[in-house]
Structure 1
Amino acid sequence: MDFIEQLQKEKIRLLGLVSSIDNLLSQYNSFSADFKSNIQNSFKSDTPSVVYNEPVYNSLSVVKKKLSLKDQVKEVVLNLKQFSKSSDIVEALFNLYPEKKKDEAAFKVQISGILSKLGSDGEIVKYQFSTSRKDAVWGKKEFLDENGMPKSEFLEWIL
């Protein structure tokens, strides 16, 4: 991938984040008072720092041949430090399967199906900010509070 393609891909990713933030802002009034309080308390200064997911997937390369793709997707999600979009999870898996970049669209569909299956089995959780598919994030059950709302500390990258 050349420099221009990388910039275009980054632009698309960032525009997706901006769109998610817009959706979050438009739905803010529908959030519970506790959730709003958690969000507000998570910011210690006037200038919140945006924290992006750091890769924690390098250890998986050792077990690549020992785990099924489904188990590797689950392992990636369970090793996340916060909620992540499916596109971030796919990017992490490209570290294990660089050959899949040749047919990126098919691989994304495959991973999306696996994420849905893991979510419906209750092995991971999905939180949907709006009706748009791109506003869904995946993570551990521990990332949700007792009311099923995301804990603010696991949403720092999107707030």
Structure 2
Amino acid sequence: MNITQFLHSEKKLYEGLIDRLDILISLCDDSKNIEVLNNTSKNFPPDNFNEQILFIIDKEKRFLHNKEIAIAMFNQFNSKLDINQLKNKISVVLNRKMPQFKDLIKYQYSNAYKDTVWGKKEWLDKNAIPKPLHMYKSR
């Protein structure tokens, strides 16, 4: 391995570390945004994962990213899942369009899949854009 190859491998290592730090920073910021929701644990559905997702969305009353739902559920959810596993599970469940989610819609505000949020049909205006009161938070 020459010096250039070594420096490229070091660069990749540090880019990976920076990506992990960005995720941790984002999780901290998002957990502050949903801190109020976590204080309402007395009404949190204990056993039904789908009802838990609906509870989070209803409680926030705005379009949410999968990650925001996962963060809100994380403190309530007694499981061996980490935050990314929980986020992936939420994504799978919501994308199956189960009957429980008939009132939920997926709204994608850019071409990037990560810019997908979930909310209620009635939170859209006549142009199928989220009303300001129910607007998602961009990343």
**Which band: TM-score by shorter chain?**
0.5 to 0.7
Q: Percent identity?
A: 28
Q: Does 1:148 align with 2:125?
A: no
Q: 2:36 maps to which residue? A: 55
Q: Does 1:10 align with 2:25?
A: yes
Partners of 1:139 and 1:116 in 2: CA distance? 13
Q: 1:42 maps to which residue? A: none
User: 1:10-29: per-residue Cα shift (whole Å, max 9, x none)?
Assistant: 15887xxxxxxxxxxxxxxx
- The answer to whether the 8 A contact 1:64-1:72 is kept is yes
* Partner residue of 1:107 out of 72, 86, 94: 86
- The answer to whether the 8 A contact 2:27-2:71 is kept is no
What SS class does the counterpart of residue 139 from structure 1 fall into? strand
Partners of 2:24 and 2:110 in 1: CA distance? 23
When residues 10 and 130 of structure 1 are mapped into structure 2, their CA distance, relative to the original with a 3 A threshold, is same
Aligned residue type for 1:76: I
Gaps of 5+ in 1: 15-51
Q: Does 1:127 align with 2:129?
A: no
Aligned residue type for 1:116: N
- The answer to whether the 8 A contact 1:53-1:82 is kept is no
- The answer to whether the 8 A contact 1:61-1:96 is kept is no
Deviation at 1:61, TM superposition (A): 4.5
TM-score, normalising length from structure 1? 0.57
User: How many pairs align?
Assistant: 117
User: 1:96-135: per-residue Cα shift (whole Å, max 9, x none)?
Assistant: 115445x433322211112223478522122101221110
Q: Does 1:117 align with 2:132?
A: no
What SS class does the counterpart of residue 63 from structure 2 fall into? coil
Deviation at 1:147, TM superposition (A): 2.6
Deviation at 1:152, TM superposition (A): 2.5
Deviation at 1:63, TM superposition (A): 4.4
Partners of 1:104 and 1:7 in 2: CA distance? 14
Gaps of 5+ in 2: 1-19
Q: Which has the larger radius of gyration?
A: 2
* Partner residue of 2:72 out of 74, 77, 92: 92
Higher relative contact order (CA 8 A, sep 6+): 1
